[in-house]
Structure formats: C-alpha cells, structure tokens
Chains A and B, each alone.
Chain A
Amino acid sequence: TQLLEQSPQFLSIQEGENLTVYCNSSSVFSSLQWYRQEPGEGPVLLVTVVTGGEVKKLKRLTFQFGDARKDSSLHITAAQPGDTGLYLCAGYNNNDMRFGAGTRLTVKP
C-alpha cells in the first residue's frame, strides 16, 4: 500500500483541455513536492509546498497543498503536448521522502 495515493494513474487528453491530478494520504507531511519525469531520465522538481492551504502557480500549472497538509493537487490549464510525462508527488518528514506511484499524462496534439 502506497503512503501517497495518486489519481488518476493514467490520463490521456487533447491539447487545450484542463486537468487535475490528485495526491492523497492519511499522513501529515511537513512539505510536499511535485516532480515531472520524462522517459529515461530522473524526476525534475516542479514545486515545493510547505504551508497548509498554500497555492503556487507555475505558468499554466497550479499546485495546492491541503489545509491539513495530507493531500495536494496539480491543475494544468490548456494542456500542451510538452506537458506529457509522469507526474510524481512526494511527501517529506524527518529526512524521509515518500513518493506516490505517479500519474502518467499524455497530451495529444
């Protein structure tokens, strides 16, 4: 059983659509990160959220940390083919980083 559950596991959409992916846990985290991973490469950090209720925007990506610091969401507006990849959330406590299994996003032109 994953400590962090990500949903959906797979998502295939058309260019221009909006989407939201979720990262849920029963545990509280001191911070949460979102990463994107391309095939054959290591994950690349997108954002870190540390305060309950925090919202961060990165161009067309909006990240939210739940008030109780147990869950997070990533919303992409007007998705583009370049957004295709594996999106991973990771929760951090006391030198221990736990990852979700990821959401594999495909954006078709």
Chain B
Amino acid sequence: NAGVTQTPKFQVLKTGQSMTLQCAQDMNHEYMSWYRQDPGMGLRLIHYSVGAGITDQGEVPNGYNVSRSTTEDFPLRLLSAAPSQTSVYFCASSYLRGGGGLSYEQYFGPGTRLTVT
C-alpha cells in the first residue's frame, strides 16, 4: 500500500493564480481531510469529507474548495492564491474506530510546501 500520497511536493505561485493540490489514498478510508501547518500554529483543518460526495468546512475554509467524487481522491483547489496561503499543506485519511468511542486515527501524507509571491 502506498498510503496517502500528495502531489506536488513543492509549488510556487504568483498572487491570483489558481492550482489544485492532489491527494490520494489506497486504504479505502471513508474520512479524508486537508490541513495547513504554519509556524507556531499547529495544524488547522481546512475541509474534510466523510465519504464520496460529502464535504464540509473545517476551521479555516476561506479561499479553498474541495470535492470528493471517489473514495480514493480528495483534491484541494486554490481559486485565487494569496500570500497568506503560503504554508505546508497536509492531506490525511482515516477509518472509524469502534468499540468504546468514536475516534479518527489519521494517516498523513508527506505534505505540499506552497509559496505564494
């Protein structure tokens, strides 16, 4: 199993450009999510999906769109990049753990380092 894969690994954009960050998982996980990680801020949830065709907003959704047409793929779109979106982006996928409580144990991809100039 490849686990969670992300492309590209690095990207530089100019302000106003658009792009899509790709994320794929081969573990048949229902739950997928996107985070951004900034120094001193930890990881902040952008969007998540509990299954194909279902998406919802996280803590910091503005400026980002997502869709989930298949279980495996969960792309993140930046419609008009801004310098404030310079960050490291992580995609994660999870299964639902039963027996004693709900928890999502997430498996993270290697990240995409995005710079917007």
Residue numbers of A with Cβ under 8 A of B are: 2, 4, 6, 30-31, 33, 40-45, 48, 50-51, 88, 90, 92, 95-102
B48 near A31 (CB under 8 angstroms)?
no
Contacts of B33 in A (CB 8 A): 97
B31 near A30 (CB under 8 angstroms)?
no
Count of inter-chain pairs, beta carbons less than 8 A: 71
- Interface SS of B by simple majority: strand
- Interface-centre pick from B35, B45, B50, B106 (highest chain A CB count, 10 A): B106
B45 near A96 (CB under 8 angstroms)?
yes
Q: What is the minimal beta-carbon distance from B34 to any residue of chain A, in angstroms?
A: 11
Contacts of B102 in A (CB 8 A): 30-31, 92
- Chain B contributes a number of interface residues (CB within 8 A of A) equal to 30
A97 near B42 (CB under 8 angstroms)?
no
B42 near A100 (CB under 8 angstroms)?
yes
Contacts of B40 in A (CB 8 A): 101
Q: What is the minimal beta-carbon distance from A3 to any residue of chain B, in angstroms?
A: 9
A99 near B103 (CB under 8 angstroms)?
no
1/0 per residue B1-39: CB within 8 Å of A?
000100000000000000000000000000101010000
The verdict on A88 contacting B108 (CB below 8 Å), with A31-B102, A96-B58 known, is no
A43 near B105 (CB under 8 angstroms)?
no
Which residue of B41, B42, B50, B109 contacts A42 across the interface (Cβ within 8 Å)? B109
Q: Which residue of A lies closest to B59 (CB)?
A: A98
Contacts of B4 in A (CB 8 A): 42
Which residue of A41, A44, A88, A92 contacts B43 across the interface (Cβ within 8 Å)? A88
A30 near B101 (CB under 8 angstroms)?
yes
Contacts of B48 in A (CB 8 A): 95-96
